[in-house]
Amino acid sequence: MRPDIDVSLDVDPRLIEFRSGQPELALRFSQHATAWPRSDAERLASTVDSPVLSPALLASGPPLERPVDLRHYTLLHEENRQSWTRWFEAAGVPADAIPARGPMLADASLSKQAALLGHGVALGDLLQIGDELASGALVKPFDVDVASGAYWLVARNLADLSDPAAGFADWIRDEFAERRSVA
């Protein structure tokens, strides 16, 4: 990153209107949206989710030979149970075969931390957990991934950014390109 650019990070689910004195750029994650009102949007990366867990939990728990075997583990949920429902559907597991239980966590970072600590199986965004998979801190027991959305760079006008905002946009594009090449 460039040391001459100050970045102010504000994690807020509300849409930014890009008024004067407000941020020039926003990063958005969306399962369905590809555009936002009065804004330009550029897809940075599509995401896929897959079950992940700590090697210690895998070694101490029942064998995971088929996706339906996850019924013996605590499933870690983010916000709702829809992501797991989609994953089990993609894996060919009937909805009634897996109990709808497990803690609801506020976001992906909490889910990842809980999985790292051995509290259950998270449905991880492979872009966000690539380092943990590469290091062996988390393992991916199945080769079934499900599309989960995309990250977007959003601005009033991406072609007309200030020099600092353009520098940040270039940096974030490079970071996402690097993550995509690893995942």
pLDDT value, residue 2: 64
DSSP secondary structure code for residue 80 in this structure: B
Domains and CATH numbers, the chain: 24-183 (3.40.190.290)
- Contacts of residue 160, defined as CB under 8 A and 6 or more positions apart, other chains included, come to none
CA 134/CA 182 separation, integer angstroms? 9
Task: Judge whether 44 and 180 are in contact, CB under 8 Å.
Answer: no
pLDDT value, residue 34: 82
Does pTM top 0.85 for this prediction? no
Consecutive 10-residue averages of pLDDT for the chain (183 residues): 70 69 83 84 93 97 95 90 90 85 87 96 91 96 93 92 91 86 60
Q: Residue 86: what residue type?
A: R
